[in-house]
């Protein structure tokens, strides 16, 4: 524990996972089955799950060769682990000795079996869960998944729903986008409704990714029709100009009743969104602070396979400090027609009001009832107000923060974050067993001004975590003192400078249909800059 702080009502305990015959967590040693030895053999596997029989499967022989059933697609993770998806059962020819790992997403307990097969072998693998978020009213999603990008794998909506089931992912935003240039695929699939291959637990909804070479990438949920232009600023294409600004497409999405999130806001190994050649293309969320002022953004993906969680969350903190209620979201940028990490390896959980469906999930996302994670599950209340809510204090005083954390993967620190700073920190001894940890921690936080409060959890890297190390964050609970808004002078001034940089980009590239069009974009930017400049003078 940091700073000599003694938490109140701290409870830490573990809940032992169910174990099955011949099956164990993939961090355990081998447990071979005794069969005869003889060349290649037929292995028939049946998967039994508590919620679904679909799963992600990886099979490897003694010399490291990955094996899959005939016709199955082998994809590869960044750890060089190849996997395929199976729907309940499959048959595969295997050599005498193989090791098989089966998992069903973040909430499942991965199972590994070491097999020594004879002529024919039948095996049933039972998959259990260490947590059931849906039973708590929280449903998972991924804002940024691609079905068609011109990749080498032939992928269909049937493949997408199998992957969603296998990863335990409730809402998949299948983003229509361009690949390189003007190759746009799937815009006719955008209808505003879930695709017919969806079911009541797993929704496939076609949305859109807007790509600008200089303004940033946005994802749209729940749009009823394709928003144009889908991309801007791509050389040697019909849309090579930097016009219109992202705001135009974001506003159209809002007018359709859709949800707007910015993807991969701060890219890996790029702490400055404006470093280097300002005329060069850049996928960072440069227009995000501008579109927020104009009311055209609901969320940002503070986790993505392509971005830096620390840098992205720092940008998020600064925007929250300027009084914006912007939800934490996750978009992995997984590609179903390429070999990438699976969708939902990082994910957003949304608390729905009432039963889970497209409308309640999107509404919960808009309202900030979210938490993001690649493994641990974090939750908090402030004065009994839940994530996304606002509570009020008549004057300076303390608030009661109740937190809980559940995790199958090791964690080592839990942090209460207030206005972007760690207000309280609890060191946690990582679990050394196969059990899921459960932690409860209550603290009192004094507040002298209007603030936002969230919970962050960090842990070491782990083979079960995609895009590690382990990391989770809640959206905030907002606390207003005497009704005053959250308004931080220094962060507002930061975005004054940010928009100065954006205006430099506009001037240096100068890629607009006319001078009037360039002035229209600059006007959008300057109006937002004026908002931040006013806050920089009058804020806290």
447, 398 contact by CB (below 8 A): yes
| Token pair of 221 as six digits | 């949920």
For the chain, 540 residues long, give each residue's pLDDT as a single digit of tens.
333 323 333 333 333 332 222 333 333 333 333 333 447 899 999 999 888 999 999 999 999 999 999 999 999 999 999 999 999 999 999 998 999 999 999 999 999 999 987 778 899 999 999 999 999 999 999 999 999 998 999 999 999 999 999 999 999 999 999 987 889 999 999 999 999 999 999 999 999 999 999 999 999 999 999 999 999 999 999 999 999 999 999 999 999 999 999 999 999 888 999 999 999 999 999 999 999 999 999 999 999 999 999 999 999 999 999 999 999 999 999 999 998 999 999 999 999 999 999 999 999 999 999 999 999 999 999 999 999 999 999 999 999 999 999 999 999 999 999 999 999 999 998 776 678 999 999 999 999 999 999 999 999 999 999 988 999 999 999 999 999 999 999 999 999 999 999 999 999 999 999 999 999 999 999 999 999 999 999 988
User: Cα–Cα distance between 332 and 344 in angstroms, integer?
Assistant: 7
Same domain for 5 and 23?
A: no
User: Residues 213, 309: one domain?
Assistant: yes
Domain boundary, last residue among 72, 100, 127 = 127
How many Å apart are CA 464 and CA 110, to the nearest integer? 8
Nearest Cα residue to 453 out of 388, 376, 364, 404: 388
Domain that includes residue 46, residue range: 19-127
* Spatial CB neighbours of 241, under 8 Å, sequence gap ≥ 6: 232, 233, 511, 512, 513
Q: The domain spanning residue 386 has which CATH number?
A: 2.60.40.10
Residue from 91, 96, 94, 95 nearest 44 by CA: 91
Tally of domains within the chain: 4
The DSSP symbol for 71 reads: T
One domain for residues 155 and 78: no
What is the C-alpha separation between 405 and 297, in angstroms, rounded?
29
Burial of 79 (0-12, 13-18, 19+ CB in 10 A): exposed
The alpha carbon dihedral of 511, 516, 521, 525 has a sign of positive
Supply 172's token pair: 């998949």
Identify which of 311, 302, 212, 332 has the alpha carbon closest to the alpha carbon of residue 268.
Answer: 311
Question: Based on the domain organization, do 41 and 11 belong to the same domain?
Answer: no
Angle at 111 between CA 336 and CA 432, to 5 degrees: 115
Could you tell me if residue 413 is inside a domain? yes
At residue 100's C-alpha, the angle toward residues 127 and 304, to 5°, is 75
Task: Give domain status of residue 357, yes or no.
Answer: no
Do 523 and 455 share a structural domain?
A: no
Contact 125, 45 (CB under 8 A): yes
Q: CA–CA separation, 445 vs 465, rounded Å?
A: 32
User: What are 434's two structure tokens?
Assistant: 């196969």
**CATH number of the domain where residue 250 is located:** 3.20.20.140
Residues 228 and 316 in one domain: yes
Boundary (domain end) residue, out of 70, 98, 127: 127
Q: How far apart are CA 378 and CA 263, in angstroms?
A: 22
């Amino acid at each position: 524990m940091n700073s000599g702080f003694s938490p109140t009502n701290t409870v830490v305990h573990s809940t032992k996972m169910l174990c099955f015959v011949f099956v164990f967590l993939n961090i355990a040693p081998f447990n071979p089955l005794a069969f005869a030895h003889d060349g290649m053999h037929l292995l028939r596997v049946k998967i039994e799950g508590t919620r679904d029989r679909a799963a992600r499967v990886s099979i490897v022989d003694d010399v490291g060769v990955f094996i899959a059933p005939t016709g199955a697609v082998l994809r590869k993770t960044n750890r060089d682990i190849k996997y395929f998806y199976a729907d309940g059962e499959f048959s595969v020819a295997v050599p005498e000795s193989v090791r098989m790992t089966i998992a069903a997403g973040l909430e499942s307990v991965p199972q590994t079996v070491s097999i020594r097969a004879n002529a024919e072998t039948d095996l049933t693998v039972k998959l259990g869960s260490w947590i059931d978020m849906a039973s708590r009213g929280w449903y998972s999603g991924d804002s940024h998944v691609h079905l068609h990008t011109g990749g080498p794998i032939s992928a269909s909506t049937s493949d997408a729903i199998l992957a969603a089931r296998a990863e335990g992912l409730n809402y998949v935003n299948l983003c229509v986008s361009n690949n390189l240039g003007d190759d746009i695929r799937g815009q006719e699939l955008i209808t505003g409704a879930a695709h017919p291959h969806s079911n009541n637990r797993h929704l496939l909804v076609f949305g859109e990714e807007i790509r600008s070479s200089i303004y940033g990438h946005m994802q749209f949920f729940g749009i009823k029709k394709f928003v144009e232009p889908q991309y801007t600023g791509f050389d040697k294409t019909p849309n090579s100009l930097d016009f219109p600004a992202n705001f135009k497409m974001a506003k159209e999405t809002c007018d359709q009743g859709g949800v707007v999130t910015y993807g991969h806001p701060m890219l890996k190994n790029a702490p400055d969104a404006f470093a280097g050649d300002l005329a060069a293309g850049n996928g960072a969320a440069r227009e995000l602070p501008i579109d927020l002022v104009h009311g055209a953004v609901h969320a940002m993906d503070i986790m993505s396979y392509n971005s830096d969680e620390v840098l992205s969350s720092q940008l998020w903190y600064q925007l929250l400090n300027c009084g914006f209620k912007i939800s934490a979201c996750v978009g992995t940028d997984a590609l179903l027609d390429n070999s990438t990490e699976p969708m939902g390896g990082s994910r957003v959980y949304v608390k729905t009001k009432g039963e889970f469906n497209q409308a309640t999930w999107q509404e919960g996302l808009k309202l900030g009832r979210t938490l993001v994670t690649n493994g641990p599950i974090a939750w908090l209340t402030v004065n009994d107000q839940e994530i996304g809510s606002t509570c009020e204090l008549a004057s300076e005083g303390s608030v009661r923060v109740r937190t809980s954390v559940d995790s199958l993967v090791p964690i080592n620190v839990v942090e209460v974050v207030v206005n972007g700073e760690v207000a309280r920190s609890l060191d946690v001894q990582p679990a050394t067993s196969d059990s899921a940890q459960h932690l409860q921690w209550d603290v009192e936080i004094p507040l002298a001004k209007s603030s936002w409060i969230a919970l962050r959890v960090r842990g070491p890297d782990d083979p079960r975590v995609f895009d590690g190390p382990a990391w989770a964050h809640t959206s905030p609970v907002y606390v207003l003192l005497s009704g005053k808004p959250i308004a931080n002078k220094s962060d507002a001034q930061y975005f004054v400078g940010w928009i100065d940089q954006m205006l430099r980009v506009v001037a240096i590239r100068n890629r607009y249909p006319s001078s009037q069009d360039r002035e229209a974009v600059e006007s959008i930017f300057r109006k937002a800059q004026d908002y931040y400049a006013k806050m920089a003078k009058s804020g806290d």
